[in-house]
Amino acid sequence: MKKNLLAIAINLSIISLCYSQNSDQKPKAEFPGGNEAFGDFIVHQLCCSDNALYDCENARVYVRFAIDTTGQIITSETQIVNGKDRVSDKTQKKIIAAFNASPQWDIFGEMPSDQNIMFPRVMPLSLTPNGLSSMRKDYKKELKRQKKEAKRKAKNK
């Protein structure tokens, strides 16, 4: 009897372990390289791309966007969610274009085959004329540093 109870207890614990390991995990989306890399991407888009903002008003805005199950940003969902500050239509279009230019995101977790899931995100963005010019300078300095480091590594090989 004790052996049977012990066997049942072991089986139940194994079943619960298997169930917890195989239970559905919520899917999530992540930018390749993480949130910091996404911030760097947006800075590059706003400072150094064809859509660069060269003049803007002082503002703090929030950008709402969503990623679909393939890892692409859903362009129709990208919008400025105004906080207390307003930005011009021209600035809004450039910010939205910067987000929509995002490369594919990585999707983790099990995806239901019968649903198209969106991964909503909101990102705060502080805009100042001086801030953009300093971000642009910092970005260019970082690119130079990376090029020098790559040359140094290539030379050492």
pLDDT, residue 109, reads 79
pLDDT, residue 101, reads 92
| φ and ψ at residue 66, rounded to 5 degrees | -140, 150
The two tokens of residue 60 are 């703090």
* Tens digits of residue pLDDT in 29-69: 888 988 888 888 888 888 776 666 666 667 777 888 888 88
Average pLDDT, the chain: 72
Among candidate residues 43, 105, 51, 57, the one with its CA nearest the CA of residue 85: 57
Helix axes 35-48, 129-156, angle to 10 degrees: 110
* Tens digits of residue pLDDT in 5-31: 444 444 444 444 444 444 456 778 888
pLDDT, residue 66, reads 86
The domain locations on the chain are: 28-156
Q: How many CB atoms lie within 10 A of CB 148?
A: 10
